[in-house]
Amino acid sequence: MLRICRYLSKSEIGQLLIGLISIVGQIWFNLELPDYMADITRLVETNGSHMSDIWTAGGKMLLISLGSVLCAIVTGFISARVAASFSQRLRSLEFRKVESFGPGEMSRFSSASLITRSTNDITQIQMFITMGLMLLVQAPIMAVWAVCKIAGKGFEWTMATGVTVLVLLVAIGLIMWKVMPKFRSMQRLTDNINLVAGENLNGLRVVRAYNAENYQEAKFTKANKELTDTQLYTNRAMAIMMPLMNSLMNALMLAVYWIGAYLIQAAAMKDKLTLFSNMVVFSSYAVQVIMAFLLMSMVFVLLPRADVSARRILEVLDTEPLVTNGRVEASAAGESGTGETGTVEFRNVGFTYPGSREEMLSNISFRANKGETVAFIGATGSGKTSVLNLVPRFYDASEGTVLVDGIDVRDYDLTALRDKIGYVPQQAVLFKGTVSSNISYGNKPGESDGVELIDASTYQGMKQEKLLLANREDTGLSAQEESAVKASASVAQATEFIERMDGAYDAPIAQGGSNVSGGQKQRLSIARAVYRHPEILVFDDSFSALDFATDRDVRAALAREAGDATKLIVAQRIGTIMNADRIVVLDDGRVVGQGTHKELLANCEVYREIAQSQLTPDELAA
């Protein structure tokens, strides 16, 4: 829990120090009250006392109480403010860190776990700072201070208080020993229930198609029951705490008065008033001691979950991406002295996925020059997508070198490298917004559109932090950008269906593109890549959902409108790639053939088998 405090800003640390002073003040006021109570008791019991003296002592007691209330208000205000700003920053830092993750890091954390860590876990931290942090400071100070106050006021009373505190500590220790493991597992079970719910929602069509609603419900019920049982166990165990505290407090008060009665009865007449006054003071201080441990019990409820949550958040924040930034920031290779633009070259590249012992790619070598189309084909699992993933550095090669514009991709600043590339993934991805916002997605690479992600070292206050909540649903495109959106849609053969939509380019796109078909999603993804006017276009089996006519029209438009861009294409259909400048045939992670369609038909057995399975004899002979 302490390690996560390094993300506190200087302003927040200063506010917490003020809160600490306020807590000390509140404790001082609370512990002064019994003395005034003793004074009033002494005045009431003493013959000849004046009412004005009682009113004066009572007025001072009221002022002390008011001071305690004001300190409590200041403490509550500061803790709530710091908790809100700190949790907001943690969410932003965690979101930014996850954005820097590649597939290698994402394999360590499930999506459900990352969502839980950025919501539920941070809420636990916020609750602890709001309530627990101040209690964690207040309780020990109050306990020690109260014990010092009662020391010397009666050996018997002190012994009774000591025995009560000892019983209390043993009981709290046993309870925490029982519930701590459950607190640790509770967040993991929350991850699990989010995972099951997310899978059910994402795969709802498949669930319905297979009539698997009962099966999914059983899975959810199991996950829900595990979480519920764990919560009930911890709640039942912690529920013992409050009645135990009250019972021990009442028992201590009874003991104090019983011992006091015995001592007063045995004392001489002149000492009876002093003993009675001491009993009143001691009972008040004894209550303060028990209250201190009552506050600590509340801390024990909040701290274990907050500590587990802090560890989970730090797991994300402390994860260093395997793919790190280089130093080359030039937007064109010519500016870096290579004289090359739009070239991609693999030199004896080998690749193994993180955590795997089996090599995925071995000794891959090819070169794509500016404006060329290089295609990759092969059986499922042959490594086609793995080759493309190395170009934008989703992964780094285990062996050999991948060069873009003559520069090793590991030397590039990631933003500079990816600004050169238009990427269309195998699974088309759309974002909630409009058609225009999806096509123009990332239309100002390298800029944050006024949204600055602030870490703890540069944090300057709540006003700046509010910028973290900004979003880009309203793209505010200029006329030139709108024209570019339409031109990109035309290249992707998306104009026809876009203009049929209600609102055309301003038509809403649902989360994940659930309100458009698979082919429409692919065409919008292609339009998004074309919109960037990149040096290199990467298509990872991005034409699979298109019919043959649309596939042909898209490729013709790409050749016409993006002829100067180097195109890397993974495809399963021979018809999609047969006119490529170079076709690279992969088999079991190795290059088994390179050349044009005709050359490979003559020289590559693997390619010939694929072609014969897809083309007619007349098409093969053409």
**Domain termination residue (choose one: 260, 291, 317):** 317
Whole-number pLDDT of residue 306: 84
447 band by pLDDT with thresholds 50, 70 and 90: very low
How far is Cα 491 from Cα 473, in angstroms, rounded to an integer? 24
- For residue 464, being part of any structural domain is answered with no
Q: Measuring CA to CA, which residue among 415, 368, 397 is closest to residue 537?
A: 368
Selection from 47-56, 344-353, 556-565 with the highest mean pLDDT: 344-353
H helix count then E strand count, the chain: 23, 12
Tens of pLDDT, residue by residue over 361-420, are 999 999 999 989 999 998 888 889 999 999 999 888 999 999 999 899 999 888 888 889
- For residue 322, being part of any structural domain is answered with no
458 pLDDT more than 50: no
How far is Cα 438 from Cα 524, in angstroms, rounded to an integer? 8
270 band by pLDDT with thresholds 50, 70 and 90: low
Cβ-based neighbours of 492, under 8 Å, separated by 6 or more: 523, 524, 526, 527, 530, 554, 557
- For residue 465, being part of any structural domain is answered with no
* Full domain range(s) for residue 592: 330-420+534-622
Indicate the DSSP class of residue 412: B
How far is Cα 607 from Cα 119, in angstroms, rounded to an integer? 50
Size (the chain), residues? 622
Judge whether 129 and 82 are in contact, CB under 8 Å.
yes
Residues 87 and 178 in one domain: yes
Residues 206 and 62 in one domain: yes
Cβ-based neighbours of 400, under 8 Å, separated by 6 or more: 346, 347, 348, 349, 350, 363, 364, 365
121 pLDDT more than 50: yes
- For residue 312, being part of any structural domain is answered with yes
- For residue 622, being part of any structural domain is answered with yes
Report how far apart, in Å, the C-alpha atoms of 482 and of each of 411, 443, 447, 488, 611 are.
Answer: 35, 11, 19, 10, 41
Q: State how many domains the chain has.
A: 3
Tens of pLDDT, residue by residue over 492-505, are 898 988 988 888 88
How far is Cα 43 from Cα 64, in angstroms, rounded to an integer? 19
| Lowest pLDDT segment from 47-56, 263-272, 303-312, 525-534 | 263-272
Whole-number pLDDT of residue 457: 42
603-610 contacts, C-beta under 8 A, 24 or more apart: 606/378, 607/377, 607/583, 610/377, 610/378, 610/574
Residues 145 and 82 in one domain: yes
Average pLDDT score over residue span 91-120: 84
How far is Cα 290 from Cα 248, in angstroms, rounded to an integer? 8
- For residue 529, being part of any structural domain is answered with no
**Domain termination residue (choose one: 485, 502, 523):** 523
147 band by pLDDT with thresholds 50, 70 and 90: confident
Report how far apart, in Å, the C-alpha atoms of 7 and of each of 86, 89, 119, 458, 551 are.
Answer: 8, 8, 17, 11, 51
Residues 131 and 210 in one domain: yes
Judge whether 354 and 107 are in contact, CB under 8 Å.
yes
Indicate the DSSP class of residue 387: H
Residues 352 and 483 in one domain: no
**Beta-ladder partners of 586:** 378, 591
Report how far apart, in Å, the C-alpha atoms of 204 and of each of 115, 190, 200, 514, 586 are.
Answer: 20, 21, 6, 12, 35
Residues 185 and 272 in one domain: yes
Angle at 469 between CA 108 and CA 88, to 5 degrees: 65
Selection from 295-304, 434-443, 560-569 with the highest mean pLDDT: 560-569
25 pLDDT more than 60: yes
Cβ of 407: how many Cβ atoms within 10 Å? 22
Residue 179 sits in a domain whose CATH number is: 1.20.1560.10
Judge whether 572 and 585 are in contact, CB under 8 Å.
no
Residue 344 — left, alpha, or beta (φ > 0 → left; ψ -120 to 50 → alpha)?
beta
Residues 231 and 356 in one domain: no
Average pLDDT score over residue span 264-290: 72
Q: Is 335 helix (H, G, I), strand (E, B) or coil?
A: helix
Cβ of 460: how many Cβ atoms within 10 Å? 11
Judge whether 30 and 142 are in contact, CB under 8 Å.
yes
Residues 185 and 83 in one domain: yes
Residues 16 and 59 in one domain: yes
Angle at 530 between CA 553 and CA 508, to 5 degrees: 90
Residues 199 and 250 in one domain: yes
- Look up residue 206 and give its two tokens: 């498949």
More confident residue, 16 or 453: 16
How far is Cα 117 from Cα 316, in angstroms, rounded to an integer? 9
- For residue 456, being part of any structural domain is answered with no
Global confidence as pTM: 0.73
- For residue 372, being part of any structural domain is answered with yes
Residues 110 and 41 in one domain: yes
**Domain termination residue (choose one: 317, 347, 364):** 317
- Look up residue 40 and give its two tokens: 């009033």
Residues 434 and 416 in one domain: no
